Chain A
């Protein structure tokens, strides 16, 4: 892929250092009144921390193993040790700032909008699902970082700080997991209700009778229903799913669910769990939670033992919900034998709103299980088709017209209404995470699955085009230079970026580059046909070499030539299982030289 994720990430780090660090002090993103926001701060910190924790070649937690080009990019922050110490300081600052009276807070007023009204204080103080999810990723990274960094530290005061940090981070992690458990919900509705009708219209892509289709859907959802009945702790567990005639939807809402029970647990769980007002599951909210739950289940989390016993228990409760949600959307969005409902873009949401943004959120959840499907190979073309279509209608791969309505999808983003928020003041909306990076993230994930297929090539072309679009939206000059987002070059109607760069956007780009780098790090499995081809070539080359060696007398003085040939074949034999193409290259050059000898012999 032409994206070159490593180089891009290093460029972004350089720009982050330039944007945030001056005269020895770090500049956190601040609201208009100088207030800090747990979500914005987390996005900013994660632009550095996330690659450093996810990619071995970007690690900063042991100064002896930091790569030179990585340190070069962060030069303004100091050398390897200073960078690590700065990160410690930032983590401590974050964790202490977003704690009130010893309890972590998960607010994010900057992510909320009340149109022409002002947010009420209660709304500003509301805990948000996005903040819970982000905190899971952030605290896991913090705990992982300090666990490794600790080994290089001997100074007592730094060791003490690391101990304190780990406790703070672990407390925040528990609180975030509890928050996620209390913002999950299952909503039940009648087939005759407007929700039921919408669901029927969505899944019915063949024109069969709605009743028949809904019966089939109920059948297909039996397993999800059974899993959701097993929920014990947190919200969404008290819903009656026993009536098989009722339809349902499950997932996360934008905040804590109204009446969510307290999660009772031993250990480090914070005592007070604030009451919420959120209600129905929202696909956009669920889509933000999935990566956080995946981080909880990742090999890194397991290997470093980042979770204590109680957190393990919460993590499996979250895993259960995530899997149920993904399976639900896989069942609904890929339903039936005709075209998938998901192919019928844009996705329709309750209330009659439809958007590419919703399609993408559903896509993310529905395609989680794609790698395990038996029909996945045949699904590839349809998957590519959906993503190409989304890129097209969102005007990423097609020139937007003047005043194109697609502009709003990108800036400020699709507005997600937050039902229940009006209990605390004016009704709120929250803008969905930036569309273009989210789309490219999906393309990269799918591309990794499709390597070596025709669909894979289309995916790479699409990835390149979306990346070009993203590059064009970097801030050209002024504060936040090189970061995101300035959409004016692409969408004429887009407003000029105001104030600091968008850390949410910048982090999304960083996250997709991390995914891309991680998939390029994984060596593609060798093509078995190539391996057997290499073997066959090796057999012939070995034979020719034997012959030449046996005619030893004639070859006196030419041993060095044969030596090189032998060495190449030896190397080819060593690597032909893991890198057959390189082995074939070696054998070919050996064969050419061997044949030159043979041809000379046969010359009359």
Chain B
């Protein structure tokens, strides 16, 4: 099964890039070819998350910007297994699939208009080539998101948001005009009252958080973002929080800087994104 996923958020800082990077990383570990396309043409931070310093803020070769302006036939691809500085991803695990990053140009300006046909061609090619392709446009209803939606290539949309009242409300407005059948939500950086991170808080603080958490659940249900439409819940994790990057098995098992629960959450999100049955739960 192949799948194109638009990973979007209503605003900055929801955790799209790091979630998306970990999704394709996990898919590659499963032995499938996976690709991450950085359509966030204004910011270009994906290289850093993958630990590819040569493309930390876009590539010096002809990237997505060049492609969309017609300057090249195919945007430059970074083979993460080869080029990542982090030693563990570079040691490509046996039987892993390809792990490709398609970055923007290092000095590319956000194009004023995007050629819809060019976007469509690109998406179709990726659809043929990769088991999973995560495309991340800029925050909100950016021109790149509009172009992606207009390309009429079958896709699913994962909407990342933080677990706060403000984010829930903004996200509900953001998705209002999208087809609900293809939209699912990813709750990112979620504190739950039983999180290990919350040990050490006073009883009053925990009671307060517990009550607020309950309110958020009720609000989410009211806004049409309840459990039935949640594709994944990514807990707060030190590695994601302090240095947005791939969580490798070594991070969890050897150095233990990351939580196993985070990896499990990403795995679960990946399974949901790729399966019809888990996507349409209720």
Q: Is the CB of A192 closer than 8 A to any CB of chain B?
A: no
CB neighbours (8 Å) of A64 from chain B are 217-218, 220-221, 226-227
A368 vs B243: C-alpha distance in the bound complex, in angstroms? 65
Instruction: Decide: B281 and A81 in contact? CB cutoff 8 A.
Output: yes
A68 vs B194: C-alpha distance in the bound complex, in angstroms? 9
CB neighbours (8 Å) of B226 from chain A are 62-64, 152
CB neighbours (8 Å) of B217 from chain A are 64-65
Instruction: Decide: B227 and A81 in contact? CB cutoff 8 A.
Output: yes
Q: Is the CB of A55 closer than 8 A to any CB of chain B?
A: no
Q: Which residue of B lies closest to A67 (CB)?
A: B214
CB neighbours (8 Å) of A81 from chain B are 227-228, 281-282
Instruction: Decide: A62 and B192 in contact? CB cutoff 8 A.
Output: no
* A432-490 interface (Cβ within 8 A of B): none
The distance from the CB of A502 to the nearest CB of chain B, in whole angstroms, is: 35
CB neighbours (8 Å) of A65 from chain B are 217-218, 221
Instruction: Decide: A68 and B227 in contact? CB cutoff 8 A.
Output: no
Mark A33-72 against chain B: 1 for CB-CB distance below 8 A, else 0: 0000000000000000000000000000011110010000
Q: A63-B227, A64-B227 are in contact. Are A155 and B280 (CB under 8 A)?
A: yes
Q: Is the CB of A158 closer than 8 A to any CB of chain B?
A: yes
* B94-121 interface (Cβ within 8 A of A): none
Q: Which residue of A lies closest to B194 (CB)?
A: A68
Instruction: Decide: A152 and B194 in contact? CB cutoff 8 A.
Output: no
Total residues of chain A contacting the partner, CB 8 A: 14
A81 vs B227: C-alpha distance in the bound complex, in angstroms? 7
Q: Is the CB of A154 closer than 8 A to any CB of chain B?
A: yes
Q: Which residue of B lies closest to A149 (CB)?
A: B282
A244 vs B65: C-alpha distance in the bound complex, in angstroms? 101
The distance from the CB of A57 to the nearest CB of chain B, in whole angstroms, is: 11
Q: Is the CB of A144 closer than 8 A to any CB of chain B?
A: no
A1 vs B192: C-alpha distance in the bound complex, in angstroms? 30
Instruction: Decide: A152 and B227 in contact? CB cutoff 8 A.
Output: yes
CB neighbours (8 Å) of B218 from chain A are 64-65
Q: Is the CB of B70 closer than 8 A to any CB of chain A?
A: no
Q: Is the CB of A153 closer than 8 A to any CB of chain B?
A: yes
The distance from the CB of A144 to the nearest CB of chain B, in whole angstroms, is: 18
The distance from the CB of B204 to the nearest CB of chain A, in whole angstroms, is: 13
The distance from the CB of A257 to the nearest CB of chain B, in whole angstroms, is: 45
CB neighbours (8 Å) of A80 from chain B are 227
Q: Select A153's contact among B192, B194, B220, B228, beta carbons within 8 Å.
A: B228
Instruction: Decide: B282 and A155 in contact? CB cutoff 8 A.
Output: yes
CB neighbours (8 Å) of B194 from chain A are 68
Instruction: Decide: A68 and B192 in contact? CB cutoff 8 A.
Output: yes
In which size bucket is the chain B interface?
10 to 19
Q: Select A152's contact among B192, B193, B282, beta carbons within 8 Å.
A: B282
Q: Which residue of A lies closest to B224 (CB)?
A: A154
Q: Is the CB of B93 closer than 8 A to any CB of chain A?
A: no
Q: Select A68's contact among B180, B193, B228, beta carbons within 8 Å.
A: B193
CB neighbours (8 Å) of B228 from chain A are 63, 81, 152-154
Interface secondary structure of A, over-half rule: helix
Instruction: Decide: B221 and A152 in contact? CB cutoff 8 A.
Output: yes
Q: Which residue of B lies closest to A63 (CB)?
A: B227
The distance from the CB of B226 to the nearest CB of chain A, in whole angstroms, is: 4
CB neighbours (8 Å) of B221 from chain A are 62, 64-65, 152
Q: Which residue of A lies closest to B180 (CB)?
A: A154
Mark A77-102 against chain B: 1 for CB-CB distance below 8 A, else 0: 00111000100000000000000000
Best-buried of A64, A153, A155, A158 by chain B (most CB within 10 Å): A64
A80 vs B227: C-alpha distance in the bound complex, in angstroms? 8
Mark A129-153 against chain B: 1 for CB-CB distance below 8 A, else 0: 0000000000000000000000011
CB neighbours (8 Å) of B220 from chain A are 64
CB neighbours (8 Å) of A79 from chain B are 227
Instruction: Decide: A153 and B282 in contact? CB cutoff 8 A.
Output: yes
A65 vs B219: C-alpha distance in the bound complex, in angstroms? 10
CB neighbours (8 Å) of B280 from chain A are 155
Mark B270-282 against chain A: 1 for CB-CB distance below 8 A, else 0: 0000000000111
CB neighbours (8 Å) of A155 from chain B are 280-282
A79 vs B180: C-alpha distance in the bound complex, in angstroms? 22
CB neighbours (8 Å) of A63 from chain B are 226-228, 282
Q: Which residue of B lies closest to A159 (CB)?
A: B282
* B215-268 interface (Cβ within 8 A of A): 217-218, 220-221, 226-228
The distance from the CB of A3 to the nearest CB of chain B, in whole angstroms, is: 24
The distance from the CB of A201 to the nearest CB of chain B, in whole angstroms, is: 59
Instruction: Decide: A154 and B227 in contact? CB cutoff 8 A.
Output: no
* A520-578 interface (Cβ within 8 A of B): none
A155 vs B193: C-alpha distance in the bound complex, in angstroms? 31
The distance from the CB of B261 to the nearest CB of chain A, in whole angstroms, is: 14
A79 vs B281: C-alpha distance in the bound complex, in angstroms? 11
A128 vs B194: C-alpha distance in the bound complex, in angstroms? 48
CB neighbours (8 Å) of A152 from chain B are 221, 226-228, 282
The distance from the CB of B232 to the nearest CB of chain A, in whole angstroms, is: 12
Q: Which residue of A lies closest to B217 (CB)?
A: A64
A24 vs B145: C-alpha distance in the bound complex, in angstroms? 41
A79 vs B217: C-alpha distance in the bound complex, in angstroms? 15
Q: Which residue of A lies closest to B220 (CB)?
A: A64
A314 vs B218: C-alpha distance in the bound complex, in angstroms? 37
CB neighbours (8 Å) of A154 from chain B are 180, 228, 282
A162 vs B192: C-alpha distance in the bound complex, in angstroms? 32
Q: Which residue of B lies closest to A80 (CB)?
A: B227
A467 vs B232: C-alpha distance in the bound complex, in angstroms? 42
* B179-204 interface (Cβ within 8 A of A): 180, 192-194
Residues of A within 8 A of B (CB): 62-65, 68, 79-81, 85, 152-155, 158
The 4 closest A-B pairs by CB, nearest first: A64-B221, A63-B227, A64-B226, A153-B282
Q: Could you write out 5 A-B pairs with CB less than 8 Å apart? A: A62-B226, A64-B227, A85-B282, A152-B282, A155-B281
Residues of B within 8 A of A (CB): 180, 192-194, 217-218, 220-221, 226-228, 280-282
With A65-B221, A79-B227 already in contact, 15 other A-B pairs whose C-beta atoms are closer than 8 Å: A62-B221, A62-B226, A63-B227, A63-B228, A63-B282, A64-B220, A64-B227, A65-B217, A65-B218, A68-B194, A80-B227, A152-B226, A154-B180, A154-B282, A155-B282
